[in-house]
């Protein structure tokens, strides 16, 4: 077990202000693997001061110079793929291959995309007799979740750096080791001191201090809608910019003309990925009543291909495991039909939940309305297209979704009517340059690509 004793502030590792630590637990075997400092408001203040001091120089760095350093950071992350993947497996529980391909491969690609965007983005434009300048918003407070620990860091830090902002990162307390590796990569890449700073700590302490700090110009948070509300209120009270990527209850709508077997198989894979700990997971599968029972049998067969401890890892913590099991028990209590899985412990050790499929789920059930954040799929039946649309749009969330149809134009027409920020058509591939973010209570703002870069810019117009 390793004990870490520093924060990355002002270009170097510095001792934490207090002595309290956070235990990092391997969710597969429930053993403590490390301790990191539990940062205080004093640690946050030191990091914000370092970021403010570095801001003028970084903002004045030509975009090509910022791009070169972001590219160097990408290269350092790629060079440490094995170490980062092993760390994600240790502190999150992600299977090794998934950790390499998704937890490391995706953020490396995103970092590369921002190196290119920084070099080519039009930070000035001419509109009539005005020149419009796109300038960095300032110091960014980034608060990231545990479910995709490196990707969520890169999705905030890379565009902020590309825009010319400086950053203070407060990562999730469950997965701080990946964040420390990111800070090491920043240092190795040669970014100027204070441009990036790391403070580990608890959300109600370090996270709240960062959101409330008067030296922070924008707060970017990814996590639950409940916490997002509090952070939004704190930032709004100080009239500072906020970007929120929150919860989801995404619908996978399978229209009658679709290839049902393919749609169900891909839908099950989507929900089981990362043990269901994905905010955009298609956790509600909507199937026409005429083919509903066929879909149930297909889902039952598909989920059997995801053995616990192999393709499906543990949940991140005992708290999260118990929360998900509680939802499964509630689904049974409210009358849903348990087709696969259940609330029992599938293995003797580790925070595992069995991949679970519910049938006969109705739109008003708790498991059809609230984000479970585990390997739990609900199948709902619909009578016609209008009924499917009503069910799909009938939650407070609107983050993602999917539509399947035999004709692409039919799927697109339905997707246009969905109240959600991103829709995959017939299994469309993830695009790291496309804007990611939600409607309704799924958030404010967008991440990834040029839309993600725009979140960290403010405009100034010069009239001639």
165 is catalytic: no
Local structure of residue 436 (DSSP, 8 states): B
Which residue, among 265, 291, 247, has the nearest Cα to 377 in the 3D structure?
A: 265
| Strand, helix or coil for residue 221 | strand
The active-site residue, picked from 91, 173, 245, 455, is 245
Backbone angles phi, psi at 167, to 5 degrees: -135, 140
| Residue 145: partners with Cβ closer than 8 Å, 6 or more residues away | 152, 172, 222, 223
Pull the structure tokens for residue 420: 């959600």
Residue 329 CA: distances (Å) to CA of 324, 332, 337, 343:
9, 5, 11, 6
Rounded distance, CA 414 to CA 282, Å?
16
The token duo for 355 is 């991949």
Backbone angles phi, psi at 262, to 5 degrees: -65, -45
Nearest by Cα to 175 from 141, 147, 199, 207: 147
Identify the CA nearest to 331 among candidates 343, 321, 322.
343
What are the structure tokens assigned to 387, written together?
């009924």
Buried b (16+ CB within 10 A) or exposed e, 383-422: eebebbbebbbbbebbbbbbbbbeeeebbeebbeebbbbb
Catalytic residue status for 245: yes
Among residues 279, 371, 447, 455, which one is catalytic?
279
Helices (H), 245-317: 260-272, 292-303
Contact 156, 80 (CB under 8 A): no
Residue matched to tokens 């026409």:
288
Query: Nearest Cα to 424, choosing from 223, 254, 246, 208?
Result: 254
Longest Cα separation, the chain: 72
Asked if 380 contacts 361 with a C-beta cutoff of 8 angstroms, the reply is: yes
In the chain, the N- to C-terminal Cα span, in Å, equals 63
> Which residues does the annotation mark as catalytic?
245, 279
């Amino acid at each position: 077990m390793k004990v870490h004793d520093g924060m990355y502030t002002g270009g170097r590792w510095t001792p934490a202000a207090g002595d309290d630590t956070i235990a990092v637990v391997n969710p597969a075997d429930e053993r403590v693997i490390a301790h990191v400092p539990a940062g205080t408001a004093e640690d946050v203040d030191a990091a914000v001061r370092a970021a403010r001091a570095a801001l003028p120089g970084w903002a004045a760095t030509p975009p090509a110079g910022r791009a070169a350093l972001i590219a160097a950071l990408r290269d350092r992350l790629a060079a440490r793929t094995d170490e980062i993947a092993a760390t994600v497996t240790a502190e999150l529980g992600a299977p090794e291959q998934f950790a390499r391909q998704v937890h490391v491969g995706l953020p490396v690609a995103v970092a590369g995309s921002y190196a290119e965007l920084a070099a080519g983005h039009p930070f000035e434009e001419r509109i009539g007799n005005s020149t419009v300048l796109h300038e960095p918003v300032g110091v960014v407070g980034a608060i990231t979740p545990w479910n995709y620990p490196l990707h969520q860091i890169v999705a905030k830090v890379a565009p902020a750096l590309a825009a010319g902002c400086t950053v203070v990162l407060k990562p999730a307390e469950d997965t701080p080791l990946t964040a420390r590796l990111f800070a090491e990569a920043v240092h190795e890449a040669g970014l100027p001191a204070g441009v990036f700073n790391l403070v580990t700590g608890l959300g109600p302490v370090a996270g709240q201090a960062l959101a409330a700090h008067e030296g922070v110009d924008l707060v970017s948070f990814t996590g639950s809608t409940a916490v997002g509300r509090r952070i939004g209120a704190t930032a709004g009270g100080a009239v500072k910019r906020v970007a929120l990527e929150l919860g989801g209850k995404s619908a996978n709508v399978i229209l009658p003309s679709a290839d049902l077997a393919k749609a169900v198989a891909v839908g099950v894979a989507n929900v089981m990925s990362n043990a269901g700990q994905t905010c955009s997971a298609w956790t509600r599968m909507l199937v026409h009543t005429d083919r509903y029972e066929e879909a149930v049998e297909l889902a039952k067969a598909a989920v059997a291909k995801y053995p616990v401890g192999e393709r499906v890892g543990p949940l991140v913590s005992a708290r999260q495991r118990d929360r998900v099991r509680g939802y499964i028990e509630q689904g049974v209590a409210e009358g849903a039909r348990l087709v696969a899985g259940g609330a029992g412990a599938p293995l003797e050790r580790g925070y595992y939940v069995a991949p679970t499929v519910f049938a006969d789920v109705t739109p008003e059930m708790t498991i059809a309305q609230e984000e479970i954040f585990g390997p739990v799929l609900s199948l709902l039946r619909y009578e016609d297209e209008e009924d499917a649309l009503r069910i799909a749009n009938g939650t407070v969330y609107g983050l993602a979704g999917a539509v399947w149809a035999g004709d692409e134009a039919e799927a697109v027409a339905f997707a246009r009517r969905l109240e959600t920020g991103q829709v995959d058509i017939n299994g469309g591939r993830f695009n790291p340059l496309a804007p990611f973010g939600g409607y309704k209570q799924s958030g404010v703002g967008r991440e990834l690509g040029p839309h993600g870069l725009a979140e960290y810019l403010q405009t100034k117009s010069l009239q001639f």
